[in-house]
Amino acid sequence: MTTMNRQQAADAVAKASAERDTIQANLLDLDGSFGKRLLTGTQLTGVSQQRWDKAAATLAALWETYATYSAVIDKAIAAGAGKMGQKELAEITALLTQPSVELTRAPAPLARRDVADTGRDLLTVATAVARMRSAFAEVADVVTAAEQAWNNVAGPLDAAGAALAHAGGLSDEALAAEIAQVRAELERQRAALNSDPLGAQPAAANRLRERAASVGARAAELARVRDGATARIAALRASVDAARAARSDALLAYQRAAERITAVPPVPDFAIDPDTRLARLESLLAGGRWSRLSSELELLERELGAAALQFQDAERAVVSLLGQRDELRGRLNAYKVKAARLGAAEDMGLSRLYDQTRDLLWTAPCDLAAAAAAVTDYQQAVNAIGARRL
């Protein structure tokens, strides 16, 4: 062994001291990390228990190695603190370059134990540092994985919890059952995360978050239904009145047309009983059955809107029949004028056809189909006379 000189010894002690301080700082960071607190703050199960049992043993051995190694560094620092003579230089050289870190370990099983095995390892400072570096990496990997797994799952679970908190204030039997299911699953996943963070399932947490968000959105929608239900029911009552008024108008138009036109299509009645349906809405409102009330409100709004349009269409159809009759009358008169210009006013056949057509159009009730055919026949007859005289 070549003994260091004073400068070499001073440099070696300073380097060893700085390295020891760095190792200590990193070990303290590891010991106080969030991931380690996760793994030591509860009764672990599953994958986390398996991995942490091994990592915890490694960490304990790491701290034991550090304590023994640190004592060696302290001795080297003490030897170099005063005036270094040959004894101190030899001691520093031996401490920092020769096997000086003595560790006690559990004996190997008998089947693999050497007869001269003392159960102790004597390491150099460099070998001890290498061993601590390897152990640190092993433990840090488990601790970091636990923290990352927690972060990946805790966020979605917190979001799910927040969504449920907003949904819980609404009392509705249909939604309450699903809220209870989501809450039970949230509690199960939280318990699993606490006891086995390394076995946590981010995909399951994300699905739960989406389900809770959906439940929360539905609860918010039902809250809007609840808050606006009275106004919507009042609006539906007004819609019923408007639909009845539209049907009444259609019936009056039908009566007027039926006196003048044959085969007038009847005005349809309500396909629903509006009063019964409105009473049902009031019952749902009183019972706080918001999910059912929401669907019933939407359905009745659509049905009343469709009914009003149907009655308006029926009125327009009836009125259009009178318009068709008037249009036919106008065509007949126009072609009578044309016949006079052609000098065919005294044509007996044409006059007879005109009188027959006029009787159809001016007789109440008027057969529109027969009258339309007669007008067409008269029109063709007048056109034929005009063609012969060109």
**DSSP symbol at 172:** -
- pLDDT score recorded for residue 169: 61
Same domain, 220 and 257: no
Residue 230 lies in a domain: no
Structure tokens at 335: 């072609």
Please give the C-alpha separations between residue 163 and each of 156, 215, 382, in angstroms, as whole numbers.
Answer: 11, 8, 81
Structure tokens at 209: 């978050």
Residue 197 lies in a domain: yes
- pLDDT score recorded for residue 55: 96
Complete DSSP assignment for 243-306: HHHHHHHHHHHHHHHHTTBSSPPPPP--SS-HHHHHHHHHHHHHHT-HHHHHHHHHHHHHHHHH
Domain count along the chain: 3
In the chain, alpha helices (H): 6-31, 34-40, 46-79, 86-97, 125-167, 173-195, 202-258, 274-287, 290-341, 348-362, 368-388
Q: Is the pLDDT of residue 230 over 70?
A: yes
Domain that holds residue 213: 156-225
Is there a contact between 303 and 271 (Cβ–Cβ < 8 Å)?
A: yes
Same domain, 190 and 271: no
Same domain, 67 and 143: yes
Residue 235 lies in a domain: no
Query: What's the CA angle centered on 328, arms 327 and 332, to 5 degrees?
Result: 120
Same domain, 186 and 58: no
CA–CA separation, 368 and 322 (whole Å): 9
Q: Is the pLDDT of residue 119 over 70?
A: no
Q: Which of 152, 178, 211 is the last residue of a domain?
A: 152
Residue 29 one-letter amino acid: D
pLDDT band at 120 (very low <50, low <70, confident <90, very high): confident
CA–CA separation, 137 and 375 (whole Å): 103
Same domain, 212 and 296: no
CA–CA separation, 202 and 51 (whole Å): 19
Residue 237 lies in a domain: no
Residue 84 lies in a domain: yes
Phi, psi of 124 (to 5 degrees): -75, 165
| Max CA pair span of the chain | 156
Q: Which of 225, 260, 280 is the last residue of a domain?
A: 225
Q: What is the pLDDT of residues 293-336, one digit of tens each?
A: 999 999 999 999 999 999 999 999 999 999 999 999 999 999 99
Same domain, 21 and 137: yes
Same domain, 126 and 51: yes
Tally Cβ neighbours within 10 Å of residue 167: 26
CA proximity to 16, closest of 98, 89, 72:
72
- Measured in whole angstroms, the distance separating CA 17 from the mean position of its chain's CA atoms is 56
Same domain, 121 and 165: no
Residue 285 lies in a domain: yes
Q: What is the pLDDT of residues 86-114, one digit of tens each?
A: 999 999 999 999 999 999 876 656 666 66
CA–CA separation, 250 and 313 (whole Å): 9
Average pLDDT estimate for 174-199: 91
Same domain, 282 and 338: yes
- pLDDT score recorded for residue 168: 62
CA–CA separation, 121 and 107 (whole Å): 11
Is there a contact between 246 and 315 (Cβ–Cβ < 8 Å)?
A: yes
Same domain, 94 and 25: yes
Q: What is the pLDDT of residues 38-73, one digit of tens each?
A: 999 889 999 999 999 999 999 999 999 999 999 999
Residue 10 one-letter amino acid: A
Q: What is the pLDDT of residues 237-269, one digit of tens each?
A: 999 999 999 999 999 999 999 999 999 999 999
CA–CA separation, 243 and 264 (whole Å): 21
Q: Given the structure tokens 């009031």, which residue do they identify? A: 282
Asked if omega into 274 is within 30° of 0 (cis), the reply is no
Residue 338 lies in a domain: yes
Residue 246 lies in a domain: no
Q: Which residue has the higher pLDDT, 209 or 173?
A: 209
Pairing of strands 101-104, 120-123: antiparallel
- pLDDT score recorded for residue 35: 95
Average pLDDT estimate for 134-161: 95
Same domain, 331 and 264: yes
pLDDT band at 176 (very low <50, low <70, confident <90, very high): confident
Same domain, 32 and 120: yes
